[in-house]
Structure 1
Amino acid sequence: MGSEGLHERYINPYTDFAFKLLFGTELNKELLISFLNALLHGEEHIKEITYLNSEHLETQERDRRAVFDIYCENEQGEKFLVEMQKGEQAFFKDRSIYYATFPIREQAIKGSEWNYQLKAVYTVAILNFVFDDKDDDYFHHEVKLVDMRTKKVFYDKLTFIYLEMPKFNKTEYELETMFDKWMFVLRNLSRLMERPVALQERVFERLFKAAEIANFDRRELIEYEDSLKNYRDWYSVVSTAEQKGRKEGEKKKQYEIARNLKSLGIAPDIIAKTTKMTLKEIAELNTSPSGDE
């Protein structure tokens, strides 16, 4: 098996293999440090991180297990959960809250007195979907606990950051900050055929070297191709479901228009031309408000 079956030069970061290769390995942890510093706008100057156990069990074996994509802490002991979510899940916000409880609870000091002082916990979710379609420009959501009356932060040690990647549409020539550049790389990496001129920082030299498929050994190539296949299969299933939903919605709208026209006494041939329905379908329409086809 070789890379001749792959047309891209660089890996797709939305695959499990690629995401963990770039951000979840000791060899490439400078990439994660750079990304987190860019994401936090300089509020945290992270110099070092330590990867932690990404698989956690609840207090009893029968309890639900949590598996994080990337779980690490910085030199101050602050915890970071970094997740890549390919598609929208039911209750994905609830999932973020649930996962955040693990790095909170594990800080409890067992076997001695503890005053409940906690280190900060950050949950970062890179989303390959849109969950807020009210504002096309609002893609960087930073969520904290606030006092609803004063609108001031009530507790600053728990932060949830959601990045809606499909909304980020800056071109290479519009990139200004390191955050912009990281967003551009994550959004476009698998479509690039060479390293953009705007990404000349040393960390991106490291990233493009790590992401180049031609540098993979046989084992890495097999793992990546398997991961890519899983991603494409998932994407196909989601796309098919979306198309089916749109078609069903269009058909329902079509029938509703035809029903209204028929109730107004419009000739069937005119209704047929307007809605692209057959005369037989129009004849069978129930014009009562509660009528179902």
Structure 2
Amino acid sequence: MGTEGIQDKYVNPYTDFGFKLLFGTAMNKELLISFLNALLFGEETVKDVTYMNTEHLGTQEYDRRAIFDVYCENEKGEKFLVEMQRGEQQFFKDRSLYYSTFPIREQGKRGPWDYELKAVYVIGILNFSFDDTDNEHFHHEVKLVDLHTHKVFYDKLAFIYLEMPKFSKREDELETMFDKWLFVLRNLSSLFERPRALQNRVFDRLFETAEIARFSRKELSEYWESLKNFRDWYSVMKTQLKKGREEGRKEGREEGREEGREEGREEERMRNARNLKELGVSSEIIAQATGLSEEEIKAL
């Protein structure tokens, strides 16, 4: 496979190949550890991770809305399920909840067991927005909360969602590692030079790993196929969105014309009712002739 059409310098992390390259391989697990620690804002320090089997989690592409999973546990046995979701699904929250049941049930033990569980984190990197009521808030951390006391009821299950389209910080606005990681995920494939704000050992590793020119022939072939799938999916979704907008405008125009016709018919009924009323016709007969109520006729 040649390099025709590939003009980006760095890999696209929203592709299956790119996401797994950066976060799904033991060789690059320091990138995943750094990302998890940045995401948790230092509340939990992940020192090491062990990759777990994702076969039963359904990692295949589905309807070109691929969710690429990384499933791992840290040195304390806490579970992390990281999902890259590039296309909106109607029941993506249900899917997250469903996925969380696997790391929970896997902790069950045979024989005597007191049901103590390790924490489970489900992390969704979303290439879409699910909350249109707030155009700025993009980092959601969801836990079980007592609605009466507003206190966390159970702190071992957390759903963390990142609405990437809402992240708009520029390079000169990056302050924390959290900011820097989101900037990388949002902009990596469009960068031609490494930003000055991303000068440390972890990002040394990331940019070295992500540079397409360093790929072997096999890696380049796999990436090109993955990128093609991503572009095909993007084209289909963009076409469907455009078609939906056009249909919406068409329906709006039809509704507008129908509303106009209905208003015209209503004005005609009112005008006829007035004329009949001036001729001394009874309200009962006018109501039968125009469809207006006797109350409406009396008010004329």
**Do they superpose with TM above 0.5?**
yes
Supply the AA of the counterpart residue of 1:126: I
Q: Identify the residue that residue 91 of structure 1 maps to in structure 2.
A: 91
The amino acid of 2:79's aligned partner reads: K
Q: Name the CA distance, whole Å, in 2 between partners of 1:178 and 1:78.
A: 22
Task: Please tell me whether the aligned partners of residues 71 and 82 of structure 1 are also in contact (alpha carbons under 8 angstroms).
Answer: yes
Q: Percent identity?
A: 68
> 1:243 is matched by which residue type in structure 2?
K
Superposed CA offset, 1:39-62 (max 9, x none): 00001111111001111279xxxx
Which amino acid in 2 is paired with 1:33?
I
Structure 1 partner of 2:290: none
Aligned to 2:243: 244
Task: List aligned pairs for 1:1-293, cutoff 5 A.
Answer: 1-56=1-56, 69-110=69-110, 112-265=111-264
**RMSD between superposed Cα atoms in Å:** 1.6
Deviation at 1:89, TM superposition (A): 0.9
Cα distance between partner residues in 2 of 1:151 and 1:79: 26
Shift in Å, 1:194: 1.0
* AA aligned opposite 2:52: L
Structure 1: where are the runs of 5+ without partners?
59-66, 267-293
Contact 1:3 1:213 in 2 (8 A): no
- How far does residue 254 in structure 1 lie from its aligned partner after superposition? 1.3
Deviations 1:114-164 (A, max 9, x none): 000000000001000111110011100000000010010000000000100
Match of 1:281 in 2: none
Q: What SS is found at the alignment partner of 2:71?
A: strand
Alignment-derived partner of residue 281 in structure 2: none
SS in structure 2 opposite 1:114? coil
Q: Distance in 1 between matches of 2:263 and 2:104?
A: 63
- Name the CA distance, whole Å, in 1 between partners of 2:213 and 2:85: 26
Alignment partners' CA distance in 2, 1:139 and 1:264: 44
Q: CA deviation at 1:258?
A: 2.4
Task: Kindly state the Cα deviation for residue 263 of structure 1 after the two structures are TM-superposed.
Answer: 4.1
Equivalent position SS for 1:5? coil
Give the residue type in structure 2 aligned to 1:90: Q
Instruction: State the secondary structure of the residue aligned to 2:196.
Output: coil
Shift of 1:241: 0.7
CA distance in 1, matches of 2:124, 2:239: 25
Distance 1:219 1:57 in 2: 27
Structure showing greater Rg: 2
For residues 126 and 104 of structure 1, the distance between their equivalents in structure 2, rounded to whole angstroms, comes to: 21
**Within 2, Cα distance between the matches of 1:175 and 1:68?**
27
Letter in 2 for 1:260: E
* Distance in structure 1 (CA, Å) of the matches to 2:57 and 2:98: 13
TM-score (norm 1): 0.85
Paired amino acid for 1:261: G
How far, CA to CA, are the matches of 1:200 and 1:107 in structure 2?
Answer: 39
Given that residues 22 and 210 in structure 2 are in contact (C-alpha distance below 8 angstroms), is that contact kept between their aligned partners in structure 1?
Answer: yes
2:292 aligned partner:
none
Query: How far off is 1:252 after superposition?
Result: 1.0
Letter in 2 for 1:256: E
What whole-Å deviation, never above 9, does each CA across 1:179-232 have from its counterpart, x for those lacking one? 000000000000000110111121011101100000000110011011111111
